[in-house]
């Protein structure tokens, strides 16, 4: 048990570190080729923060562990809203521009409900996976188009300013390519180690790999979102803090699950729909209440609301623990 636990810990550490190196190398290389800051932010950094979930779920699906693939994606979504956004709000209350919520939150809600609908037959077939991936491609195209239109009206938005600041002095092109390749290689290697350790622990404890995916792996692969959201909130970039979470959840629901399902169709346990998907939908809808401003007041996720989100995550975790050790029906 010690070796698998060490594999999970080391795998998560290297996974998060290599994802950061991969994103840094890719962004610097893109800057050398004069890629606009907007596209670097939306495509490279957006993909990069969800790279851990994508690689882990793809490898888990390849190795015949669909529970880890699905649990990682949906568990990360739950962690992003309840744990990460909650902790961020406790550290620094998040003032939310309603434009971000009006554009992205309804979209995330539709995507989440669509994903739930595809699972009503207790499986994610290759056709379901293709629907998710095509939806993601269309959504990315729309997002880039909207970003370009917005940038024409406003000289610099928060995302472009953040990218310009981070890449004011990009690393040399050779170094950028080196870190791009090395970061990707380490992402894959650490994901393999992580999945092996997680599967071994699940088998030793007699629990499903879905539970491991929903808890340990989901929280670990969400660490990039935690770091970026806290930094954005402390800098006063509140919209970016919320945008990181909502964007990551859309990516996980469409691209991560879609890639895993395209590699290997997955049977979906009924508890995924009645427990995990229900919690994910409830948390998504809670942001309408917490984030939107009413009676002309500015929307704000305050410390009390952050504490409610974190408490919701703790109760969900307790539910999972009860399922494992008590064997309750869900």
Each domain of the chain, given as residue ranges in start order, spans: 2-326
CATH code for the structural domain at 2-326: 1.20.1420.30
Residue 121: count other Cβ atoms within 10 Å of its Cβ.
10
Q: Which residues pair with 300 in a beta bridge?
A: 95
**Confidence (pLDDT) at 128:** 94
**Confidence (pLDDT) at 294:** 59
**Confidence (pLDDT) at 328:** 45
318 to each of 102, 280, 311, 314, 323, how far by Cα in Å? 33, 16, 10, 6, 8
Name the 3-class secondary structure at 123.
strand
301 within 8 A of 96, measured Cβ to Cβ: yes
Q: Which of 326, 108, 81 is CA-nearest to residue 211? A: 326
Q: What is the DSSP string of 288-315?
A: HHHHS--TTPPEEE-HHHHHHHHHHHHH
- In the chain, which residues have pLDDT < 50? 153-156, 159, 328-330
Q: Which of 218, 253, 237, 273 is CA-nearest to residue 84? A: 218
**Confidence (pLDDT) at 316:** 94
61 to each of 54, 150, 207, 317, how far by Cα in Å? 11, 38, 18, 24
């Amino acid at each position: 048990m010690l070796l698998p636990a060490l594999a999970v810990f080391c795998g998560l550490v290297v996974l998060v570190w290599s994802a950061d190196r991969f994103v840094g190398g890719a962004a610097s290389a893109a800057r050398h080729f004069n890629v606009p800051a907007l596209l670097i932010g939306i495509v490279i950094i957006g993909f990069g923060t969800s790279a851990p979930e994508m690689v882990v779920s793809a490898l888990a699906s390849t190795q015949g562990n669909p529970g880890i693939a699905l649990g990682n994606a949906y568990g990360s979504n739950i962690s992003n809203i309840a744990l990460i956004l909650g902790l961020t709000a406790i550290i620094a209350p998040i003032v939310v521009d309603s434009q971000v919520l009006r554009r992205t939150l309804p979209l995330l809600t539709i995507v989440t409900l669509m994903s739930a609908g595809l699972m009503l037959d207790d499986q994610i077939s290759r056709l379901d996976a293709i629907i998710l991936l095509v939806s993601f491609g269309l959504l990315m195209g729309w997002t880039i188009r909207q970003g370009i239109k917005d940038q024409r009206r406003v000289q610099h938005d928060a995302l472009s300013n953040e990218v310009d600041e981070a890449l004011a002095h990009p690393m040399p092109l050779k170094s950028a390519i080196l870190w791009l390749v090395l970061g990707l290689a380490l992402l894959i290697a650490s994901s393999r180690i992580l999945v092996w350790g997680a599967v071994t622990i699940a088998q030793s404890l007699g629990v499903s790999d879905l539970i491991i995916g929903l808890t340990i792996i989901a929280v670990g692969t969400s660490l990039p979102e935690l770091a970026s959201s806290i930094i954005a909130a402390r800098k006063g970039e509140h919209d970016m803090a919320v945008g990181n979470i909502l964007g990551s959840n859309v990516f996980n629901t469409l691209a991560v699950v879609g890639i895993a399902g395209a590699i290997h169709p997955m049977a979906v346990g009924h508890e995924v729909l009645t427990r995990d998907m229900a919690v994910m939908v409830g948390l998504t809808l809670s942001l309408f209440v917490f984030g939107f401003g009413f009676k002309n007041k500015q929307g704000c996720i305050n410390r009390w609301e952050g504490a409610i989100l974190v408490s919701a995550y703790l109760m969900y975790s307790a539910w999972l623990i009860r399922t494992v050790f008590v064997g309750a029906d869900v």
